[in-house]
Chain A
Amino acid sequence: MALIPTPSQTVGPYFAIGCAPGNCDSLAAPDAAGKHIVISGRVLDGDNAPVPDALLEIWQANSYGKYAHPEDTQDKPIEPGFRGYGRIPTDDHGKFRFRTIQPGPVPGPDGKPQAPHLEVSLFARGLLRRLVSRIYFPDETANETDFALSRVEPQRRGTLIARKMPGQSAQFEWDVILQGAGETVFFDC
């Protein structure tokens, strides 16, 4: 490799002016196949204070477990109404909320399917480099053998699994704790 990669730098506090045109908190067209869900949560710092200037980006497969990308060569349908990308800023209280569909399982490098998950990039003032995490779903037996989850110490795996909202089968909560007790697991990506 001949060229040194360009280093990351923080998005700073003013990213909203540059990124607003690309914001998208509704990832799925109404007719997209699969279970339509809402995921919401908060981003909290090491003092448990809300982070009002964070930006989440989501990347995920559709309900068949197919990514809308040329390198996903699986024989599964791509949907015109589902691109799999979302971008959601936190509000003044550090909260975010987006609508999507629950993804299907995608293949893992060990030949086993990965448990259904969303990829998350988190940007914020104070982060010199994005943080990468994943959102998994509760009650999925595939979580127990998942390629990425199995690399995480058992007591921290829960930070990657969304919570069901009582009485709401299509609503999930997932918080990001940047630092300290209950710190969310972040991956080197």
Chain B
Amino acid sequence: MTVASIPGYRRAGQGQHPVNAHAAYASSLKRAPSQPLIHLPHTLSEITGPTFEHFPDDPKAADLTLGRGGQAIGERIVVSGRVLDEAGRPVRRTLVELWQANAGGRYRHLVDQRPDVALDPNFDGCGHTLTDPEGRYRFVTIRPGEYPWRNHYNAWRPAHIHFSVFGPAFATRLVTQMYFPGDPLLPFDPIYNATADEEARKRLISAFDWESTIPNTALGYRFDIVLSGRDATPMEL
């Protein structure tokens, strides 16, 4: 197969991703492009992307609760799942990064100066890992707190964890957020609700998971991440 006839990646269907111009999300108003995106069939530039074959494994980076000489404050949880393509095939050896607020709902970031919640000296709120040959990943962390934000009157973000995943190609790059089942704030969150398709939106909600729950230690949540799959037909012109 020549490089001119390698299949590209599938485009998501209508409503399966948010569009950037989303009036309910105030930060988008001055940042979303006003011109339509220009359709670009995938070329060699988009079907390749950074690989992580030789990225060093660091098990400590997947446990956010280790802290500095003490245990992070809050409800310890296990967040695990698989990174898959749309056909259900595992995405192997790809980098998964995550970041989140602490148990009280504050980020260790200069911009987050929430006065009523302290930083936890034993919780930085960031981690990373690589998927295994079955596409599995696993983090131990703290259930993040909800927090107020200035988007609209009495606005609160539902508890969430930010995820960044690369996948096999530039075209499969994804940054998303994981939510928790039954969160009463979800119906009011403009970011969660920016995805029009309800079935796609539900992908963002993790599921409680007995299998990964550790007795006397941590509840388990399962969050599978599905990246764009391969097109059946080659790129063509």
Contacts and interface: CB of A to CB of B under 8 A. Distances in A.
Interface of A: 1-22, 45-47, 49, 51, 53, 57, 59, 61, 67-74, 83-85, 106-111, 114, 117, 119, 121, 123-132, 134, 147-148, 151-152, 156, 178-180, 183-189
Given A9-B175, A18-B99, A69-B51, A151 B38 contact: yes
B20 A119 contact: no
A5 B15 CA distance: 11
B152 to A, nearest CB: 15
A71 B47 CA distance: 8
A155 to B, nearest CB: 12
Nearest to A120: B170
Contact of A148 (B43, B101, B174, B227): B43
B124 interface: yes
Nearest 6 CB-CB pairings of A with B: A18-B99, A126-B27, A69-B48, A126-B31, A85-B50, A128-B18
A2 B88 contact: yes
Q: Is the interface of A mostly helix, strand, loop or mixed?
A: loop
Contacts of A131: 20, 33
Contacts of B5: 109
Given A85-B50, A107-B3, 7 more contacts: A3-B85, A7-B195, A22-B97, A49-B30, A53-B111, A71-B3, A178-B31
Given A19-B164, A183-B33, A6 B126 contact: no
Interface of B: 1-6, 10-12, 16-20, 22, 25, 27-35, 37-51, 61, 84-88, 95, 97-99, 101, 107-109, 111-112, 124-128, 162, 164, 169-171, 173-177, 191-192, 194-195, 197, 199-201, 203-204, 224-229, 235-237
A86 B20 CA distance: 24
A23 B1 CA distance: 35
Given A8-B175, A84-B50, A187 B124 contact: no
Given A15-B162, A19-B164, A121 B170 contact: yes
Contacts of A74: 3
A69 B167 CA distance: 12
B174 A11 contact: no
Given A8-B17, A151-B38, A187-B38, A18 B162 contact: yes
23 contacts: A1-B10, A2-B86, A5-B12, A6-B226, A10-B191, A11-B164, A14-B109, A14-B111, A18-B162, A21-B128, A45-B30, A51-B31, A59-B45, A70-B51, A83-B50, A106-B43, A106-B44, A108-B43, A129-B17, A132-B40, A186-B35, A189-B46, A189-B171
Contacts of A53: 111
A127 B28 contact: yes
A33 B173 CA distance: 28
Nearest to A54: B31
B130 to A, nearest CB: 12
A72 B49 contact: no
A5 B226 contact: yes
B162 A11 contact: yes
A131 B176 CA distance: 14
Given A72-B44, A178-B31, A9 B191 contact: yes
Nearest to B53: A70
Contacts of A17: 99, 107-109, 124-126
